[in-house]
Amino acid sequence: MYYLLPFRFERLKDKEIIVNEVGDYLITDKNTVDRIVSRKISPDEELYKDLITSFFISETVVPPLIDNYATRLRTKKSFMDGYTSLHIFVLTLRCNQNCHYCQASAKEHNALQYDMKKEDLSRAIDLMFKSPSHSVTMEFQGGEPTLTPDLLTYAVQEAETRNKLYKKQITYVLCTNSVSLSDRVINICNEYRILISTSLDGPEFLHNRNRGKTDSYQKVVAGITKARTVLGEDRVSALMTTSEYSLDYPAEIINSYLENGFHSIFLRPLNPYGLAAENDDWDLYFDRFVEFYKRSLEYIIQLNKEGTFFIEEFAALLLRKILTPFPNGFVDLQSPSGIINGVIVYNYDGYVYASDESRMLAEYNDYSFRLGHVSDKYENIFYGRKAQELAQIWITEGIAGCSDCAFQSYCGADPVRNYSTQGDSYGFRPTSSFCKKHKSIISYIISLLTEREDEVLPIFKKWLRRNEG
């Protein structure tokens, strides 16, 4: 006789995967779950021992090592300890590119009315310092934030001055397309140790097509080179967006990152905001993206086998949740959701939003996720009525279709995405592209770990150990 502990399961081909509350998993034969639930697993079976040690079943009502199990669960949720740590400042909506998938509703480069006012920026910085988190990231976005060097300088100098009192650990990040990194901006980054996160969509023909400019690639590469020369190679990272056109060129995109001196890539799909929302068939796009992702990851695994260390960052985030007891800071993979809990956005007009995607909806006159204004009290923004409403639907443990999903421990809740794609913040998992994409990729990674363990596990472990030593 044994007792059942909480776990979830899923059919994978001719096998079953069972996953417990902290993400430990076992791959078993078909119909094993039925045998477990029916109490037909014999103590002399090897499976019985695995189920006991991995907290799927217990020989006592309360398992002997339940405190250890509780500690592991608390560690998985430790990203909540500091509350909001990522603070995004949208300094301007002005931009100097013409990306056909633009998700930020960028404006013409000379439209100065879309710059943030200094008094609003100052109030936003006040709100950031009221966050209980000891470590905060101050991220500057746009539009193109390098078009407002005065605001950038003011923001960092104000933060440095106020931090003499608060003594927080501040990380500065400048999100830029890098096409016009002036000496002044580079010097600001050098003086205050600002990290640069830039955009590179792939080889020249692809990048230029996505950006709507014939010289964008040359300017971006020149900007990356300039930034690395002054700031150092490790201070510049890149992010790509997978347009519909990009889906046919996985190897070419990865090779372009290698050629430009990067050691990793984040294969990021389009999101249904801004101009990208005009996509005609999102179901088809995400089906194709999943296949693109698998082809890309296979190519990256082959590169690593041949001696080229190269990471796919989304896979690394998932592997951290699957193979280690630790959480990650990626908003899409958090429960409770990363909105408000992990990230907040101060828009150029002084309004505060639950996430970057929330403020993108606002540019289309949809203010469903507006939390308030920078002139409001901290408590009214972060703990106000809107935040309380979202709190009811932002945990996978309490959402239909997520609460019983085998991959719940690895995934996250996204009310904003649900609202944008389904017109309902609660969402409906059977028709959710977000759900379909994540389940497909998680299933694929677990299949690699189980069917090709000797081949891929040493590579994946190196990815997870990248910062050691």
388 found inside a domain: no
Q: How confident is the model at residue 450 (pLDDT cuts 50, 70, 90)?
A: very high
Q: Per-residue pLDDT averaged across 382-389, rounded?
A: 95
Neighbours of 302 (CB within 10 A): 11
197 and 283 together in one domain: yes
pLDDT of 391 above 90: yes
**Which residues on adjacent β-strands are paired with residue 339?**
343
pLDDT at 292: 97
Q: Mean of the pLDDT values across residues 389-414?
A: 94
Whether the predicted pLDDT of 143 surpasses 80: yes
User: Is the CB of residue 46 less than 8 Å from the CB of residue 307?
Assistant: no
- Measured in whole angstroms, the distance separating CA 316 from the mean position of its chain's CA atoms is 11
Q: How many helices (H) and strands (E) does the chain have?
A: 17, 16
Indicate whether 13 and 115 sit together in one domain. no
**Is residue 293 assigned to a domain?**
yes
Q: Is residue 361 within 8 Å of residue 273, measured between CB atoms?
A: yes
Tokens 């792939």 map to which residue? 202
Tell me how far apart the alpha carbons of residues 386 and 371 are, in angstroms, rounded to a whole number. 6
Which pLDDT tens digit goes with each residue over 211-232? 877 888 999 999 999 999 999 9
Query: Is the confidence at residue 32, as pLDDT, over 60?
Result: yes
In the predicted structure, residue 13 carries a pLDDT above the cut 50: yes
End position of a domain, from candidates 53, 76, 99: 76
Token duo for residue 230: 């002054």
pLDDT at 269: 92
Q: What's the confidence (pLDDT) of residue 29?
A: 94
pLDDT for res 106: 64
pLDDT band with cut points at 50, 70 and 90 for residue 112: confident
Lowest mean pLDDT among 1-5, 162-166, 274-278, 325-329: 274-278
In sequence order, what are the residues at sequence separation of 6 or more whose Cβ sits closer than 8 angstroms to the Cβ of residue 159?
A: 125, 128, 138, 170, 172
452 part of a folded domain: no
Same-domain status, 63 and 132: no
Give dist(CA 288, CA 385) in Å, integer: 39
Q: Which two tokens stand for residue 153?
A: 């300088």
Same domain, 64 and 92: no
98 pLDDT more than 80: no
Q: What is the pLDDT of residue 275?
A: 47
- Do residues 144 and 35 both lie within one domain? no
Show the beta-strand stretches assigned E in 220-310.
236-242, 264-265, 267-269
Q: Which of 362, 378, 399 is the endpoint of a domain?
A: 362
Q: Average pLDDT for residues 378-394, to the nearest whole number?
A: 95
DSSP 8-state code for residue 115? B
Phi/psi at 17 (nearest 5 deg)? -110, 130
Q: Which domain holds residue 30?
A: 3-76
- Asked whether residue 85 falls in the same domain as residue 70, the answer is no
In this prediction, residue 194 carries a pLDDT of 97
Q: Is pLDDT of 105 > 90?
A: no
Domain final position from 306, 332, 362: 362
pLDDT at 259: 97
Query: Which of these, 110, 193, 126, lies nearest to 166 by C-alpha position?
Result: 126
pTM: 0.92
Q: What is the tens place of the pLDDT at every residue in 332-385?
A: 899 999 999 999 999 999 999 999 889 888 888 899 999 999 999 999 999 999
Q: Is the pLDDT of residue 100 over 90?
A: no
Least confident of 26-35, 89-98, 256-265, 273-282: 273-282
pLDDT-above-70 percentage for the chain: 95
* Closest of 400, 469, 392, 467 to residue 435, by C-alpha: 400
Report the CATH number at residue 203: 3.20.20.70
Q: Do 22 and 160 fall into the same domain?
A: no
Structural domain total, the chain: 2
Which residue, 67, 32, 76, is CA-closest to 51?
Answer: 32
Residue 291 lies in a domain: yes
Mean pLDDT of the chain: 92
264 and 123, same structural domain?
Answer: yes
Looking at the fold, whether 153 and 277 belong to one and the same domain comes out as: yes
Summarize pLDDT for 282-334 with one digit per residue, the tens. Answer: 788 899 999 999 999 999 999 999 999 999 999 999 999 999 988 887 888 99
Q: What angle do CA 92, 93, 97 make, to 5 degrees?
A: 115
Q: What angle do CA 459, 462, 465 make, to 5 degrees?
A: 155
What pLDDT does 468 receive?
A: 53
C-alpha to C-alpha distance for 378 and 127, rounded to whole angstroms: 6
Q: Is 131 helix (H, G, I), strand (E, B) or coil?
A: coil
Residue for token pair 């600002």: 194
* Tokens standing for residue 313: 């960052």
Tokens standing for residue 447: 């299949």
Claim to verify: residue 54 and residue 105 sit in the same structural domain: no
Mean pLDDT across the stretch 82-96?
A: 92
Could you tell me if 209 and 139 lie in one domain?
Answer: yes
CA distance 180 to 54: 54
What is the pLDDT, as a whole number, of residue 283? 82
